[in-house]
Amino acid sequence: MTDRQTQAENETEDRPTVRVLLAAHGEAETAGIVENFRISWHTLAHAAEVMRLPVLLRLLICSFAAIRKRLSGRSGSPHNDYSRGQAEALEGLLNEGSGARYRVEAVFASAPPYLETAVAMDNGVDRQVIVNMIPTDSRLSCGLGCHALLAASEDRDSAVIARFWDSEELVAVHRDHIIRHYPPELVGQDQCLVLVLHGTVIRDEHGAVPDFHTGEAEKSAYAAALRDALLAVPDRSWQRIEIAYLNHGVGGEWSSPTLEALLEVLASEGVEATVVYPCEHLVDGGETQELPSVLEASGLAKTHCLPCLNVSPGLIDLLAARVRQVESAKQSRYLCDACPLRNGNGGTA
């Protein structure tokens, strides 16, 4: 081995290793009954920590969902694969001329590898950063990572990045993505652009406001900021922007209007064309796969569904910038307002 090779190897060994976990929801990659049941079971188990969801009800919901998916003839979700693609792209970008050695992994709340066990730091890892890949903060999004860190006592050398809902940079990435992918054949027609978010519980079964962080305020602010940015686009193709939600409908009253309800209104008003953009889904998955069939059933004459950001360079650049900022400061200023790490030693890397 030459002196130059020895020097390069020593420099590599001296660099700190930073583990970055892209924490996404996680979905079934096949139409198999067992896999789909397991995904639903994990999802509802998390929800049951803050909502009243009896075991029997969860068993019925998970069984029905798994059987329906198997009989639908649809393939598995691309969600996990796109998430792994994001991790690969981010790792490549972070390691370009870096003073640290970055290792980026996609982990999931409801699919393996599970976030709750992945937060345990490996030997040889100096620090880790958990990036919440659901833009709006809540107990059931970024909260899953924070509570997992506290349960594993790994919060001291870990940092969490959330608060994408109030990121002007992410709004700009979405805006440019929509402009780039907007169907040119609809230009000049009376049309509506619909921003679709995942709904949340706003009243429990007794009509009371839930006593956990639902993310309702963050969702409203996130959608409003993107709507305002899109309405400010000069010579835009869309005349109107509406906001709608995809709901599960268990545990109480959910966000409104639902996408189906809004599409019914647009059809009754005689809107010529409707374009849907799932702005809270950073990767395409099971829910976005179903959007074309929802649009087809709406009765609207012309509809179109835009793709998610997936591995968009703008998104990867934004993620890299935030990770580098947190790593440089050795602490995160991107904790949600209700984050349990604010009161402890967490939030530091």
- Sign of the dihedral defined by the CA atoms of residues 216, 22, 178, 96, in that order: positive
**Cβ atoms 258, 245 nearer than 8 A:** yes
The pLDDT, as a whole number, for residue 205 is 87
How many of the other CB atoms lie within 10 Å of CB of 341?
Answer: 22
**Which range, of 11-15, 250-254, 330-334, averages the lowest pLDDT?**
11-15
| Mean pLDDT in residue range 277-290 | 96
The DSSP code for 331 is B
**64-87 pLDDT per residue, tens:** 999 988 888 788 999 999 999 999
| Mean pLDDT in residue range 314-342 | 92
As given in the structure block, the two tokens for residue 74 are 């649809």
**166-198 pLDDT per residue, tens:** 999 999 999 999 999 999 988 878 899 999 999
The secondary element (H helix, E strand) that includes residue 158 is: strand 158-161
The pLDDT, as a whole number, for residue 349 is 40
Domains 3-165+313-343 and 168-305 share a fold: yes
Euclidean distance between CA atoms 60 and 294, whole angstroms: 24
Q: Of 8 and 85, which is predicted with more confidence?
A: 85
Question: Nearest-CA neighbor of 210 among 222, 221, 199, 224?
Answer: 199
The domain made up of 168-305 is a member of CATH 3.40.50.1400: yes
| Mean pLDDT in residue range 132-142 | 96
The pLDDT, as a whole number, for residue 348 is 45
To the nearest whole percent, how much of the chain has pLDDT over 90?
Answer: 77
The DSSP code for 254 is E
pTM: 0.91
Euclidean distance between CA atoms 309 and 177, whole angstroms: 7
Return the CATH fold of 3-165+313-343: Rossmann fold (3.40.50)
**Cβ atoms 252, 204 nearer than 8 A:** yes
The pLDDT, as a whole number, for residue 159 is 93
Q: Is the peptide bond before 257 cis (omega within 30 degrees of 0)?
A: yes
**94-116 pLDDT per residue, tens:** 999 888 999 999 999 999 999 99
Q: Where are the domains of the chain?
A: 3-165+313-343, 168-305
